[in-house]
Amino acid sequence: MKNTKNPKPSILLDTGPLLEVKKSGINLYTEYLAKHLSEEGYDIYGFYFNFAGRKKINIKSQYPYIKFIEIKHFPGIAIRPIARLFGIQFPIELFLNNKYDLHLYPNYVSYPSLKKTRQIVVTHDLCFIDHPEYLTEKNSEYLNKIMPKVIKRSDLVVCVSKFTETRVKDVYCSENTCVLTPPVVNHRFSEKKLPKGVVGKKVILFLGTAEVRKNLETLVEAMQYISNDYSLVISGNKGWKDERLRQKINEFASKGVDIVETGYVSASEKSALFENAHVYVYPSHYEGFGMQIIEAMQHRTPLALSNIAVFKEIAQDAAVYFNKDNPQDIAKKIVQLIDDDELRKNIVSKYPRLLEKFSWENSSKDFLNRINNLWSHT
């Protein structure tokens, strides 16, 4: 659908990720991307399927800058099983009447287009290839079956990091790629309140979904080597296959390690946690980016990170790095940050330069040029 008064292309955006009440990762990437594109002057049309039984949120009032289209005549819950079992994807035009200049899919999977509309897809990582053990079997099977088709028909594959872009090129031999790091919005709150159970504690913080790949069992183990004056605060959604983490938390809590699980936190609570944390620790085995690293920088929270390539791409020399498989090394680097004032000041002093690099204004230039060129050459 073209607004004749707007010289920029209209964008049809898959806004399914915005339906999630407890947003993280891809949900937030979609939210931030839509907001920034709207501020750039693009007309954003968001489509989503009506999933029976899904908790409703008032999506239209929450995102007034998106013109929403709810697809009611086809059961959204059937789309993924059909694709996973039979490799069949329905063209998007079967669900929508109007024509849009560009189709943008922020969550890996796109739909074919009968009208050959230019397609842009965001790929966050290739965990389903590199580490399928970190995903459910169904999800891994689905992505392995669908992604070669998605990449092949995409006019532009947006990757959230150089690390992910390199993997996409290696695996799919795709040259139509660009990098757009998560356009993290720095929320300002007049009032911030810590979650229950955290007030008055000296916080070592992890914030994120408690998935297997986050390596939280090793972080919990590392706490035995750190003074009992400090508490490990784990905030975020409950993840898949967390039985071992539950056992590890119970084991070390019984030994006197103070571990607080807040569950999902609001944006204002998250901001308060970052501001009150002595250290933010990210012990992951594998990531496509690491949005919380940027959020920690925005709050001037010192960073202790696992020594994986993508974290070094983001934080560079503005963090201490540890062997993610060694609890004692994790503890050593955390204590180093806590005890060494000069080290903390040195690390935090480098944040403005990196935040400038990862700002929307700088990171989006290539992306915006590419999507405008796609449209002008249709």
Question: Tokens 């503005």 identify what position?
Answer: 318
In this structure, the answer to whether residues 209 and 109 fall within a common structural domain is no
pLDDT digits (tens, 9 = 90+) for 88-97: 888 999 888 8
CA angle at 265 for the pair 264 and 268, rounded to the nearest 5°:
165
pLDDT confidence of residue 351: 98
32, exposed or middle or buried, with CB in 10 Å at 0-12, 13-18, 19+?
Answer: middle
* H-helix or E-strand spanning residue 68: strand 66-71
370 in a domain, yes or no?
A: yes
In this structure, the answer to whether residues 32 and 148 fall within a common structural domain is yes
161: pLDDT strictly greater than 90: yes
In this structure, the answer to whether residues 284 and 370 fall within a common structural domain is no
Domain range holding 208?
202-357
In this structure, the answer to whether residues 347 and 267 fall within a common structural domain is yes
4 in a domain, yes or no?
A: no
**Dihedral angle of Cα 240, 241, 243, 249, to the nearest 10 degrees:** -50
Distances (CA, A) of 43 to 8, 64, 91, 222, 362: 8, 12, 22, 49, 22
pLDDT digits (tens, 9 = 90+) for 311-354: 999 999 999 999 999 999 999 999 999 999 999 999 999 999 99
In this structure, the answer to whether residues 48 and 169 fall within a common structural domain is yes
195 in a domain, yes or no?
A: no
Q: Is the dihedral of CA 290, 291, 294, 299 positive or negative?
A: negative
Average pLDDT of the chain? Answer: 92
In this structure, the answer to whether residues 108 and 257 fall within a common structural domain is no
Total count of domains within the chain: 2
* H-helix or E-strand spanning residue 306: strand 303-306
Question: Tokens 């998106």 identify what position?
Answer: 66
In this structure, the answer to whether residues 346 and 369 fall within a common structural domain is no
In this structure, the answer to whether residues 85 and 59 fall within a common structural domain is yes
pLDDT confidence of residue 51: 63
* H-helix or E-strand spanning residue 272: helix 267-276
Structure tokens at 103: 């189709």
Mean pLDDT (whole number) for 216-233: 96
pLDDT confidence of residue 74: 73
Antiparallel, parallel or unpaired: β 118-123 and 102-105: parallel
In this structure, the answer to whether residues 146 and 14 fall within a common structural domain is yes
In this structure, the answer to whether residues 152 and 236 fall within a common structural domain is no
Please give the Cα distance from 295 to 330 (Å, whole number).
Answer: 21
194 in a domain, yes or no?
A: no
pTM recorded for the entire structure: 0.92
112: pLDDT strictly greater than 70: yes
pLDDT confidence of residue 2: 54
Please answer whether residues 125 and 158 qualify as being in contact, where contact means their C-beta atoms are separated by less than 8 angstroms. no
Residue 52's pLDDT band, with cuts at 50, 70 and 90, is low
Cα Rg of the chain (Å, integer):
21
pLDDT digits (tens, 9 = 90+) for 113-136: 999 999 999 999 999 999 999 999
Mean pLDDT (whole number) for 90-111: 92
Please answer whether residues 301 and 274 qualify as being in contact, where contact means their C-beta atoms are separated by less than 8 angstroms. yes
192 in a domain, yes or no?
A: no
In this structure, the answer to whether residues 139 and 177 fall within a common structural domain is yes
The helix/strand/coil state of 367 is helix
197 in a domain, yes or no?
A: no
Q: Higher-confidence residue: 180 or 74?
A: 180
Please give the Cα distance from 39 to 44 (Å, whole number).
Answer: 10
DSSP annotation of 132: G
Please give the Cα distance from 323 to 4 (Å, whole number).
Answer: 56
Residue 85's pLDDT band, with cuts at 50, 70 and 90, is confident
In this structure, the answer to whether residues 174 and 212 fall within a common structural domain is no
Please answer whether residues 262 and 197 qualify as being in contact, where contact means their C-beta atoms are separated by less than 8 angstroms. yes
* H-helix or E-strand spanning residue 203: strand 202-207
pLDDT digits (tens, 9 = 90+) for 254-272: 999 999 999 999 999 999 9
Residue 60's pLDDT band, with cuts at 50, 70 and 90, is confident
Please give the Cα distance from 165 to 142 (Å, whole number).
Answer: 21
pLDDT confidence of residue 186: 78
233 in a domain, yes or no?
A: yes
Which CATH number does the domain housing residue 371 bear?
A: 3.40.50.2000
Amino acid at 341: D
Order of strands across the sheet with 177-179?
66-71, 43-49, 10-14, 102-105, 118-123, 156-159, 177-179
269 in a domain, yes or no?
A: yes
